[in-house]
Amino acid sequence: MRKPFRPEIAVVTGAGSGIGRGTAKALAARGAEVIVADINFATAKDTVAHIRSAGGSAVPYALDVADLPSLEAFADYVRTAHGVPDVVVNNAGIVVGGPFFDIRPADLHRIVDVNLMAIVHGSRLFGAQMAERGTGGQLVNVSSIAAFAAMRLGTPYCFTAAAVKQFSETLRVELAAQRIGVTVVCPGLIATNLAATASLATLSAEQVAITRQIVVKAMTLAGMHPDKAGRKIVAAAADNRAVMPLRLESLLAYWITRAFPGLVRAGMRLATGPEVERVIRFVIDHPGFVGVAREAAELMPQRPGLQTYWEPPEYDDPPPPPIPLRR
């Protein structure tokens, strides 16, 4: 039997924007003190300001989840300064795309470190704290619809998403006896800034900048609001769901892939095949494309009231963590 879901301490990584911010706000609304971690301290502080303005409790923390010593120091800080968390949401993620043979090894290492190994180590460090405490807890790992649907030109993103899903389901079996739940969330289209940090092979810097702006605007128009996504994620954690496909397209991909894997592979092959790539490449490499695309990106509408940027905001220098004063 699981105790009622009333988290006192919660940790969310990648909480400076998007799904992470929405989830941090939803946890704070449930009464949790939220440690808001993000590689960008400025956006982490902004999330904390949103939570405090709504009457919640939160503190910011600058963290590069891909740096294991920093992640270990963060876990120690949370336990010492705040206590063992009841909920940990491993959410930070990036996109690396393009033809697989053209992707730089450094970008491959980075996406594996951020999208996969940070979740592995975050689950290990905080899960061990929960196990030692002996009263259970909940780990939430954010993957993607890409865990089900293989997309050409998105190989690094897809295989890290699939690995997170399998890791989470396996860890769930292992930790069940210790009353530690593990939920893996596989979002579909959410209105986030994920594209703003994307690395895209074979595109020029200007093409990347234009693509980011168009994609982010399109996501604001078609995607689920990240606050709504956050509430759904927290509800899934409260129910200790094993796998949470988030949005209809993710749910459909989950079931259709299980029932008709060959059909899905054929469909993705047609949708993202080399024929499509050749057409797109012909267009974007045309001398007149950049000017037209830049103007189209500026004129393209976007959904108001969302945190949007086409390039990551400027970083600031975070102060050292405060001296622990309690617990």
Percentage, residues of the chain above pLDDT 70:
92
Q: Do 230 and 25 contact (CB within 8 A), yes or no?
A: yes
Instruction: In whole angstroms, give the CA distance from residue 89 to residue 245.
Output: 16
Which residues of the chain register pLDDT less than 50?
Answer: 323-327
pLDDT of residue 326: 38
pLDDT of residue 4: 74
Q: How do beta strands 96-97 and 87-90 pair?
A: unpaired
Backbone angles phi, psi at 56, to 5 degrees: -90, 180
pLDDT of residue 292: 84
pTM greater than the 0.85 cutoff: yes
pLDDT of residue 321: 60
Instruction: In whole angstroms, give the CA distance from residue 34 to residue 8.
Output: 8
Beta bridge mates, 34 = 10, 58
Instruction: In whole angstroms, give the CA distance from residue 302 to residue 229.
Output: 19
Instruction: In whole angstroms, give the CA distance from residue 21 to residue 19.
Output: 5
Identify whether 157 is a catalytic site residue: yes
User: From the candidates 157, 254, 309, 315, which is the catalytic residue?
Assistant: 157
Judged by phi (left if over 0) then psi (alpha if -120 to 50, else beta), residue 18 lies in left
Instruction: In whole angstroms, give the CA distance from residue 44 to residue 51.
Output: 11
